[in-house]
Amino acid sequence: MDRRQRLLVHGIGIDHGRMKFYRAIAVAALAAMAPALLAGEIPPDARRSGYSFMSPDTRAMQDDDTSNPGMLFVLDGEVLWGKKVGRADKACADCHGDARGSMKGVAARYPAFDRTRGRPVTLDQRINLCRANHQQASPLPYESRDILALSAFVAHQSRGVAITTGDDPQLFPFVEQGRSLFMQREGQLNLACTNCHDDNFDKHLAGSSITQGQPTGYPLYRLEWQTLGSLERRLRSCMTGVRAQAYDYGAPELVALELYLMSRARGMPMETPAVRP
């Protein structure tokens, strides 16, 4: 680097690239402190789906099932629903029958309390519990195509159904845990979920719309991912974005966060599979 391209700050030579880096850190620190006075949950009547923040092209892709790439996973899930697996040689359909009736409204109440475990489980975890207990099959890995396809197929049966998650009194302590995590600052940027999704929605970050973080369409298709992904994947991505250590898939903290977010969206209609940038 040529000396003429360097600045002298407090007697220390710093090049333009490093200046931009330190400036970005300073801006992030200020942004982390400023919203503290504004932090607060969005009133129920002001809550909006991420769909309302999307461009017309993205909305059109979600609205047309023949253009929505997430529907390919739903179709795969329908095949898996009727496929016999495991030592029990049973299919999901053998217990639950036609998913269009038996699964309608089910995803709208997950995460749900599991009495044998004494804590909430996600829809993905419930599918794997059914595989283990009733099909005697091995669990499907997190974010694998099969678990996403089955989850999308089941959740698709609830499209248009209002979310009811969190109304079970046994879930109340876990909802509060999720709320605390949502409000808790973390990572090198010292930001909490609420700083973006409660305090600064309708603004933009690096050209992308900041939404309210309402989880109405998961698992959903992200153009950035070029595939379907779970809410846990999105949460882990946000944690990485604020330079925090992401929880492992299936961790109780991630389940609590998902539970809080779904309870926060109570009354909003399911959209699975949604499409986002």
Tell me which residues are annotated as active site.
Answer: 238
Q: Please give the backbone phi and psi of residue 270, each rounded to the nearest 5 degrees, phi first.
A: -70, 145
Whether residue 184 contacts residue 192, with contact meaning beta carbons closer than 8 Å, is answered with yes
Q: Is 96 annotated as a binding residue?
A: yes
Q: Is 234 annotated as a binding residue?
A: yes
Tell me: is residue 134 an annotated ligand-binding position.
no
CB 240 within 8 Å of CB 192: no
Give CA torsion, residues 267, 269, 274, 277, to 10 deg: -50
Q: Is 193 annotated as a binding residue?
A: yes
The verdict on whether residue 10 carries a ligand-binding annotation is no
Angle at 168 between CA 164 and CA 171, to 5 degrees: 110
Provide the residue count of the chain.
277
Q: Does the annotation list 238 as a binding residue?
A: yes
Q: Which residue has the tokens 């009495």?
A: 115
Binding site residue list for heme c: 92, 95-96, 130, 193, 196-197, 238
Query: Per the annotation, where are the binding residues for substrate?
Result: 234
Q: What residue numbers does the annotated binding site cover?
A: 92, 95-96, 130, 193, 196-197, 234, 238
